[in-house]
Chain A
Amino acid sequence: MKPLAISAYTVTSAAARGRAAHFDALRAERTGLVEQRFEDATLACWIGAVPGIESVSLPADLASFDCRNNRLAELSLAEDGFLDAVAAARARYGAARVGVFIGTSTSGVRHTEVAFRERAAAKSAHLPDWYDYRTTQSTFSIADYVRVRLGLDGVTNAVSAACASSAKVFASAARALETGLCDAAVVGGVDSLCLTTLYGFNALQLVSTDICRPADANRKGLSLGEAGGFALVERAPAPGTLACLGAGESSDAHHMSQPRPDGAGAAQAMARALGGVPRERLSYVNLHGTATPANDAAEDAALTRLLGTTVPCSSTKGWTGHTLGAAGIVEAALSLLAIEHGFLPRSLNTRELDPKLRGAVLLAPLQAPVDCVLSNSFGFGGANCALLFGRAA
């Protein structure tokens, strides 16, 4: 693919709001995960909740979109001058020529959970009158909210491929720009905490009661988090500026909720993202690294079969938790921060490296010039996506 200019980007997670605060949290090794209950959940585990969502109010004319997920979008859009950057692109290209590609796995499902709870309590056959499916629960709701909020009217999609969703938006946007469907695009992802994913992953025995410990010999599973992030992408990055240099997608074609153990599908996505970029330019791999036993082992198999055992790598989910449909954009942003600051984060919360893993997992941070960074995102349904970031030639 042709490189995408990253003209602006921002991220909000449990670890911090905005780019600078995220970099501080990375350097200070300050996790956003807290051992606490979400709402009235009865599960004892660590979660990455973004403080302040409850008090966000959406613009009055968009009140029908009000739900936890769209509030998190609103909170995230306000950081790092992102609204101004999009306004400038809108003025330059016209609203109809700026596309919107937003990843999410569960969109506004928390809103539906509350509606069903109220229906059960009232012993009613119907959902409450206040419940608006299109603007909250619908998978498209988050993309539509971002589109309308930013005053855009170009090609707009929600991309919903589980935990690969907001990595895949870069691939969609790159294709739309190359084929002339739009001239610039807002890409991103938002997923928020809900009982569906907490109890769902718990039913699959993938939630750790301890804080998540990626690549650890005693890892017990993931910690769930919520996050929102966005990037403004355009064609033809100027030399030396931040760019998405490649996007690779593939399917495992193996199992609905387990990764292919040999990592063949994941390795295909990584190879497609790398394209013709020489392997020696790769400074770091930001792992999907959920800290489930199966994911970390399969990802290590993919990594080492494609790249050998020497490229520094780590998962940053120890800071943010697994933010599901937002993980792709969160880790894209952290990869861009790594490039800008010449800083590679260590695998946070990892105490004893799993001896069966052969990749060069960072147990201490590295301050060094960073050339290219590969960021992995894998999801249910065998959806794989890898992104390559670096500075444009």
Chain B
Amino acid sequence: MIRCALEGVGIAAPGLAGWAASTPKLAGNAAYLPPDAGDLEPPYAPVLLPPNERRRATAAVRQAFRAAEDAMRPGLEPRDLASVFASSDADLAVLNRICSALAEPARAISPTDFHNSVHNAASGYWSIAVQAMAPTTTVAAYDASFTAGLLEAAALTAHLDTDVLLVAYDAVAPAPLLAKRPLASSASVALVLGRGDRGAFGALDIDVNGSGETACTRAALETLRVGNPALRALPLLELVAALCPGTVTLRGTGGLRVNVTYSP
């Protein structure tokens, strides 16, 4: 079992625009209403990115930044944080452009698309934005990517003296890839984990001996949870929002099930 202090939380998902605004909805003190399908938000402009990188950052990178920036608070120094980025698919819009270009006779790939095509693009942009030279890694585990990232980040806190930023994110693919990887929404979740018994948001105890899987009890949130790998975190975030002690079971890869016990 690994114990981590919980030092920060961020979220960006349909109808959940930031942790402060989402807390009453996740805690059950306010109704969660999914926005109308046609009610699109403007593209997010990351606050921390320098202008050059902001121009080049893709939609998936912006999605990652939105939750990561939301998780920052006074007392957390972004440049000192190690980081784990967890994403099933990184940026399928970039893959779509590259593979479409390669199907044409000219095969002209944009150099910017190519450097944005690496799975660790968000990690790269983040380290440039906050000037963090600390260890960072990027993991993928399909629908279990949040769980994989949580395990990686928790193990990293035990290894380092610094806090660890975990960012889980995935963005909706364009056609024709959407039909092959049908995510319902773009979303991201960020946690800041640290060494120690208790942080500003409480503590997590994580172990790999679980069974089953915890769902959200409210139907609209459950629809959201299963529609994006990052939002598999929602049952845990419901506990944190309500300051309610309890245990959720997250699905890992294969038969692996991970128990996460929250103490406020």
Contacts and interface: CB of A to CB of B under 8 A. Distances in A.
Interface of A: 1, 42, 96, 105, 109, 112-113, 115-117, 119-120, 125-127, 131-134, 137-140, 143-144, 147-148, 152-162, 168, 171-172, 175-176, 178-181, 195-196, 199-201, 203-204, 249-257, 264-265, 268, 272, 379-383
Contact of B139 (A132, A153, A158): A158
Interface string B144-157: 01001001101110
Given A105-B119, A127-B180, A137-B95, 11 more contacts: A96-B255, A147-B253, A155-B256, A157-B253, A180-B2, A181-B2, A204-B115, A251-B134, A251-B135, A272-B135, A380-B120
Contacts of B108: 203
B33 interface: no
Interface size grouping (class) on chain B: 35 or more
19 contacts: A105-B118, A112-B99, A127-B180, A138-B88, A154-B256, A155-B208, A157-B140, A157-B141, A160-B140, A161-B136, A168-B137, A175-B156, A178-B155, A200-B114, A203-B110, A203-B111, A256-B115, A264-B133, A383-B136
Nearest to B107: A199
Contacts of A249: 135-137
Nearest to B253: A156
Nearest to A249: B135
Contacts of A176: 151, 155
Contact of B133 (A154, A162, A201, A250): A250
Given A140-B142, A178-B158, A203-B111, A155 B151 contact: yes
Contact of A251 (B117, B132, B139): B132
B37 interface: no
B88 A253 contact: no
A143 B141 contact: yes
Contact of B88 (A120, A140, A153, A204): A140
Contacts of B132: 251, 253
A175 B123 CA distance: 20
Contacts of B263: none
Nearest to A132: B180
B100 interface: yes
Contacts of B158: 175, 178-179
B97 to A, nearest CB: 11
Nearest to A197: B114
Nearest to B83: A251
Contacts of B56: 256
Question: Considering residues A119, A152, A199, which has the most beta carbons from chain B within 10 angstroms of its beta carbon?
Answer: A199
Please provide the 4 A-B residue pairs with the shortest distance between their CB atoms, ordered closest to farther: A381-B124, A160-B119, A200-B114, A249-B135
Contacts of B88: 138-140
Contacts of A147: 253-254
B102 interface: yes
A129 B246 CA distance: 44
Question: Considering residues A157, A175, A201, which has the most beta carbons from chain B within 10 angstroms of its beta carbon?
Answer: A157
B142 A157 contact: no
A148 B254 CA distance: 8
B155 A181 contact: yes
B211 to A, nearest CB: 12
B256 A153 contact: yes
Question: Considering residues B99, B116, B175, B179, which has the most beta carbons from chain A within 10 angstroms of its beta carbon?
Answer: B99
A109 B135 CA distance: 27
B102 to A, nearest CB: 5
B123 A195 contact: no
Nearest to B79: A253
Given A251-B127, A257-B115, A199 B152 contact: no
A112 to B, nearest CB: 5
A136 to B, nearest CB: 10
B128 A253 contact: yes
A195 B118 contact: no
A383 B123 contact: yes
A256 B139 CA distance: 18
A139 B123 contact: no
B256 A116 contact: no
A180 B1 contact: yes
Nearest to B160: A175
B121 interface: yes
Given A113-B99, A113-B102, A179-B155, A161 B137 contact: yes
B109 interface: yes
Contact of A252 (B104, B127, B175): B127
A254 B140 contact: no
Contacts of B180: 127, 131-133
Contacts of B145: 140
Given A105-B118, A155-B252, A144 B142 contact: yes
A157 B139 contact: yes
Nearest to A100: B253
Nearest to A272: B135
A132 B156 CA distance: 33
